Amino acid sequence: MRIGVPKEIKVHEYRVGLVPSSVRELVLHGHTVMVETGAGLGAGLSDDDYVRAGATIAATAEEVFSAVEMIVKVKEPLAVERARLRPGQILFTYLHLAPDPDQTRDLMASGATCIAYETVTAADGTLPLLTPMSEVAGRMSVQVGAACLEKAHGGRGVLLGGVPGVPPGDVVILGGGVAGSNAALIALGMGATTTIVDRSPVALRRAADRFGTEIRTVFSTRDAIDRLVTNADLVIGTVLVPGAAAPKLVTRDLVKRMKPGAVIVDVAIDQGGCCETSRATTHAEPTYVVDGIVHYCVANMPGAVSRTSTFALNNVTLPFTLALADKGWKQALADDAHLRNGLNVSGGRVTHPAVAAALGQTFTAPEAAMAA
């Protein structure tokens, strides 16, 4: 199969879809890989690194899209990239379609087969291709939140760890999954008073087992969220419903009642965010203020630590990329129900139930799309 890796063009997105070691694996399986010049530079990977791994270098993204059968990316394709897709071409990347009707319509119109990293599943119900980026974003959320709390950045002027004689900051984490538990790891390490809120007793027990008496765990109710968020210095939203829009746990009214200069870091912004006042931002302009509350809602947080993120992502995507290339998408999905759950759009049809429900589209079962 002919596989292409274009340079990411989202603002301040420095990751790349394949690293040279992944390219070498694909080449050893008999495939050809074309990489747009400079695609890996943001992760410290040169064109020469890719050439040594067996790739060819293309001068433009147009050349890559027109020449290959499968595109491997990191972030969702922007409008100019979606216009380059063609019927039957495979797109393998993060998509986050539920809050993005424009992208969904364009992908349907393209006729391409679009497989989303974030809805590929594992036997234990986890999301293996989302997990490493959730780990990165969770850990980053406390770092960026701590910076936003500095007075010069609009925050309350609170040091999360406090100092002797002055209490530490209060961190509330909404969601005890991968991102939430990684946020807790860093918040506790910085010395902050840290609370995880979740509706799953299993998630709360897991957090208690991992962090012991250092962590506070609270079952999620409206009263609990209201009480905790109004007293927090830093609120980190990590709630995820696979494929669907994130639930709005923090209302506009609740934001108005937070401490002036408190910070919200909405890690769930890729799926629309879990705060009613959240809107996607970029690394170029990461924050804005609503009712005196600093909002950090960067939709590609892991892109800031691009080398770490790129290698972590390739560690989990490579086996699936190889399966798609070795077998073709229909056979690969037929052989692996978990990869089949990643199919979001194919042949003009929406093939993931949560995406269809979120956008009011007709759902077509993946099996029906594969038979078409």
The catalytic site residues sit at 96, 270
Helix (H, G, I), strand (E, B) or coil at 32: strand
DSSP label at residue 341: T
Dihedral over alpha carbons 249, 77, 295, 248 (to 10 degrees)? -10
Which residue type is seen at 115? I
Distance in angstroms (rounded) separating the CA atoms of residues 19 and 311? 7
DSSP label at residue 213: G
Indicate the burial class of 357 (C-beta count within 10 angstroms; 0-12, 13-18, 19 or more).
Answer: middle
| Pair of tokens at residue 7 | 């340079």
Indicate the burial class of 334 (C-beta count within 10 angstroms; 0-12, 13-18, 19 or more).
Answer: middle
Bridge partners for 275 per DSSP: 250
CA 368 to chain centre: 28
CB 145 within 8 A of CB 236: yes
| 3-state DSSP percent of the chain in helix, strand and coil, to 5 | 45, 20, 40
